[in-house]
Amino acid sequence: MYFSSFTKNRSRTLHGLLIVGASVFCNSVHGRELPQLDCMLEPSNIVEISSSVEGVIEHIHVERNDTVTKDQLLVELDSDVEKSQVALAAAKAAMDANILLKFAALKFEQLKKTRIDALYDTDAVPLHLKDESETEAMISTLELQRAKDDKRLAKLELERARAILRLRTMKSPIDGIVVSRHKVPGEFVEDQAILKLAQLDPLYVEMIAPVELYGAIKLGMRIDVTPEIDGFGEQIATVTMVDRVIHAASGTFDVRAELANPGSNIPSGLRCTARFITEEVNVEALAGATSKPDEKEPKRKSNSPQKIGFIDKSVRDRSFAAVDPENLK
């Protein structure tokens, strides 16, 4: 019993150590398969602001290196004509006099028709007068409907005038910074760029990997990114793109990772180094799991003498007696 139980536990312990050793060995090999790569920090978006209509620049509300937010007003073109068109369309859309006029005419024609119908029932008026009253009442109904349709068209014209006016203003489509200004107030623009914006949160970490690593780099992998200048330390980025087109001439492919950059503190354009993070094996947890006794093995009753650990008490006593100093004399 002592030898069998000791052998089983020793086997489980050795098996656990072999698993841990193999896992650590595989992990280190995997780390050597993904060497450190050179990289470049690039803006995640670069936008050139231009006008969809011709005009003269009236105001530019930002300067180079200014921080901008999404939907912030950047540029306004001269829009006096468009503003006057909006005011005119708004006045037309607010007019209700024509509808009220047609409504009053309809009420009169309906009252007239009612009286003529009553007279016709007593044979006091001829049939053609009754037909005239019915036709005039119907015409008044249609004229009222046309006045209401004109009111709806006036509202649509107002929306169109406002849309044309919005074309004279340019807003930021992103959160970022102003990289450059190409125009100044007073210049005439058609389709030329006026401003250039860059989004720095997140940053793109652009890498070029040798073809030997294709398949080893996968989406979602994490990397340690270290910019070339001090002060930023190591940053954690996540792989978001692995190019599926290999550059035949150079034997390389492109890899991109996203790096969170709240506050746009890290500038773009920096060179960097990227080190892929390999998942570490939890050795203690694995060793603890392998050292647990086999719960599925049923407990066996035994009539053997009392044991201490794996050794019978009688065996222990004989062992101590064998090494007693008195016996060694």
pLDDT in tens, 4-53: 444 445 445 434 433 434 343 333 334 445 889 999 999 999 999 999 99
Residue 329 has pLDDT above 60, yes or no: no
Of residues 301 and 78, more confidence is placed in 78
pLDDT in tens, 90-117: 999 999 999 999 999 999 999 999 999 9
pLDDT in tens, 260-291: 999 889 999 999 999 998 764 343 443 444 44
Percent of the chain with pLDDT over 70: 74
CA distance 158 to 148: 16
Residues 156 and 162 sit within 8 Å (Cβ to Cβ): no
Q: Alpha helix locations (H) across the chain? A: 2-33, 80-94, 97-121, 127-166, 283-290, 313-322, 325-328
**pTM, whole model, 2 decimals?**
0.63
pLDDT in tens, 113-150: 999 999 989 888 899 888 999 999 999 999 999 999 99
Single-letter residue type at 284: E
Q: Which of 260, 180, 249 lies closest to 208 in space, CA to CA?
A: 249
Q: Measured on CA atoms in the order 151, 152, 155, 157, is the torsion positive or negative? A: negative
Q: What would the mean pLDDT of 193-202 be, rounded to a whole number? A: 95
Q: What is the H or E stretch that residue 198 is in?
A: strand 193-210
For tokens 């602001």, what's the residue? 49
